[in-house]
């Protein structure tokens, strides 16, 4: 029915750490679009995950990547990195974690061009991206290979950049959405409500718009489409699904959320993301122990992995949007089918 050739106007959100190839397959099986997150993986990691997804679904799926400028490693950054690393080492010792923290050079991730090459080599035909816009050469190369491009915006200025560069589709991320803000500037947060932003961007362009933020039932799908969305993207509604990579303890925690627990958090990754506050955020949020993205994200990664393995919810990130009620444990296919 459209550029992305799906039966229903619903896209499964690419949630790094939550989305699995099995979730992508289940979304496709429901006639929706599955989305595989690669984040800032290197070429080899990206290819391996794409191929794993291909093994279990015969349908097209989207791949999502992070787009951002990696801060240069200055002497000041090295000093602060070691300071944050030392604080995390002390916390790990207190908790009994056997944690290995990378040095700053090892924490520098692969450039997004590696992920684009993986997309091209694996013949992926739908690429979504967040945190910025692609460079002109990448846009031209991808379009020449008939790859549909989906950019993410959180305000009108970002939307205009995507429109001017002729990005095929635009994902409008409302303030309600869980996980990382798709802002081009990591330290700035657009305060406009999602539906207002959607209506404003609809007046800017006739490009296909995907709305993300607070979509959790048929009524919210209908509301978004009524005011200008061509598609909706759902993430929080799938957090407790059968195919989610979250642990049973994490899923149980999501069933017990109180409204005031959901906040914007910077201390896990160095970029603002909507999720649940806990003991880790009490210690690190608004402190001197937060590095710029992606260094904070890389430095805390292994610590969070061990916290997850040992079911220490108070010391790992648990992203969640503002529409968090009655999360289902059913399969992704069942959950999405109920939205149609």
For 259-278, write each residue's pLDDT tens digit. 999 999 999 999 999 999 99
Question: Which residues have CB under 8 Å from 137's CB, separation 6+?
Answer: none
pLDDT higher than threshold 60 for residue 24: yes
In a domain, 172, yes or no: yes
User: Is residue 337 a part of any domain in this protein?
Assistant: yes
The answer as to whether 249 is a domain residue is no
Q: Is residue 168 part of a domain?
A: yes
At 189 the pLDDT is 87
Same domain for 209 and 76: no
Backbone angles phi, psi at 15, to 5 degrees: -110, 105
CATH number, residue 11: 3.20.20.70
- What are the two backbone dihedrals, phi and then psi, of residue 280, each rounded to the nearest 5 degrees? -60, -45
- Please check whether residue 248 lies inside any domain of the structure: no
Q: Is residue 251 part of a domain?
A: no
CA 184 – CA 98 distance, rounded (Å): 35
Domain match, 11 and 119 both? yes
Q: Which long-range contacts (CB under 8 A, 24 or more apart) does 186-195 make?
A: 186/68, 186/131, 186/270, 186/271, 186/272, 186/292, 186/293, 189/154, 189/264, 189/272, 190/154, 190/155, 192/155, 195/223, 195/224, 195/227
Q: Are 332 and 241 contacting, i.e. CB atoms less than 8 angstroms apart?
A: yes
What residues make up the domain containing 303? Answer: 71-108+258-319
Q: Verify that 312 and 170 share a domain, yes or no.
A: no
What tokens appear for 336 in the block?
A: 């999405």
The answer to the question of residue 253 being in a domain is no
Work out the pLDDT band at 2, boundaries 50, 70, 90: very low
State whether 51 and 167 are in the same domain. Answer: yes
Please tell me whether residues 267 and 128 are part of one structural domain.
no
133 and 263 together in one domain: no
Query: Over 50: is that where the pLDDT of 88 sits?
Result: yes
Helix (H, G, I), strand (E, B) or coil at 37: strand
Residue 152, SS3?
Answer: strand
Mean residue pLDDT of the chain comes to: 96
232 and 131 within one domain:
yes
pLDDT over threshold 80, residue 1:
no
Residues 18 and 35 in one domain: yes
pLDDT at site 5: 84
Query: Does one domain contain both 82 and 224?
Result: no
Give yes or no: residues 47 and 181 share one domain. Answer: yes
Strand order, beta sheet including 10-12 = 10-12, 231-234, 209-212, 169-173, 148-153, 126-130, 62-66, 35-39
Does 65 lie in the same domain as 199?
yes
Query: What letter does residue 47 receive in the DSSP assignment?
Result: H
Q: Specify the pTM.
A: 0.96
Residue-wise pLDDT for 105-138, tens only, equals 999 999 999 999 999 999 999 999 999 999 999 9
Q: Say what the pLDDT of residue 188 is.
A: 83
Q: In the predicted model, is pLDDT for residue 3 greater than 90?
A: no
Number of domains making up the chain: 2
Question: What would the pLDDT profile of 287-313 be if each residue is shown by its tens digit?
Answer: 999 999 999 999 999 999 999 999 999
Q: What is the DSSP letter of 313?
A: G
Banded pLDDT at 191 (limits 50, 70, 90) = confident
pLDDT at 70: 93
User: Which residues fall within 8 angstroms of residue 195, CB to CB, at 6 or more apart?
Assistant: 174, 211, 223, 224, 227
Q: Is residue 2 part of a domain?
A: yes
pLDDT digits (tens, 9 = 90+) for 125-179: 999 999 999 999 999 999 999 999 999 999 999 999 999 999 999 999 999 999 9
Q: Tell me, yes or no, whether 180 and 303 share the same domain.
A: no
First-to-last alpha carbon distance for the chain, in angstroms, is 15
| Residues 35/61, Cβ–Cβ less than 8 Å | yes
Question: What is the model's pLDDT at position 340?
Answer: 87
């Amino acid at each position: 029915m459209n550029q992305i050739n799906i039966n229903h106007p619903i896209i499964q959100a690419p949630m790094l750490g939550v989305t699995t190839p099995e979730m992508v397959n289940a979304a496709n099986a429901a006639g929706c679009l599955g989305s595989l997150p690669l984040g800032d993986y290197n070429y080899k990691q990206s290819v391996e995950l794409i191929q794993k997804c291909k093994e279990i679904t015969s349908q097209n799926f989207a791949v999502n990547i992070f787009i951002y400028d990696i801060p240069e490693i200055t002497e000041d950054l090295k000093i602060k990195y070691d300071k944050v690393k030392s604080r995390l080492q002390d916390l790990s010792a207190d908790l009994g974690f056997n944690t290995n923290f990378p040095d700053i050079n090892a924490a520098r991730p692969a450039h997004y061009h590696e992920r684009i090459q993986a997309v091209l080599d694996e013949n992926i035909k739908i690429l979504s991206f967040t945190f910025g816009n692609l460079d002109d050469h990448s846009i031209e190369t991808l379009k020449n290979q008939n790859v549909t491009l989906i950019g993410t915006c959180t305000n009108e200025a970002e939307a205009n950049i995507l429109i001017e560069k002729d990005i095929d589709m635009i994902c409008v991320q409302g303030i309600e959405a869980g996980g990382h803000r798709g802002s081009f500037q990591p330290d700035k947060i657009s305060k406009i409500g999602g539906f207002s932003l959607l209506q404003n961007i609809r007046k800017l362009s006739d490009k296909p718009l995907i709305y993300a933020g607070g979509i959790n039932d048929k009524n919210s799908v209908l509301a978004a489409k009524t005011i200008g969305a061509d598609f909706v993207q759902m993430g929080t509604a799938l957090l407790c699904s059968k195919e989610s990579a979250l642990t049973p303890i994490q899923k149980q925690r999501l069933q017990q959320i109180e409204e005031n627990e959901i906040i914007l958090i910077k201390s896990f990754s160095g970029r603002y993301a909507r999720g649940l506050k806990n003991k880790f955020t009490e210690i690190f949020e608004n402190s001197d122990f937060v590095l710029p993205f992606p260094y904070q994200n890389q430095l805390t990664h292994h610590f969070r992995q061990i916290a997850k393995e040992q079911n220490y919810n108070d010391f790992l990130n648990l992203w969640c949007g503002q529409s968090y009620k009655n999360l289902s444990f059913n399969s992704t296919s069942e959950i999405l089918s109920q939205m149609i």
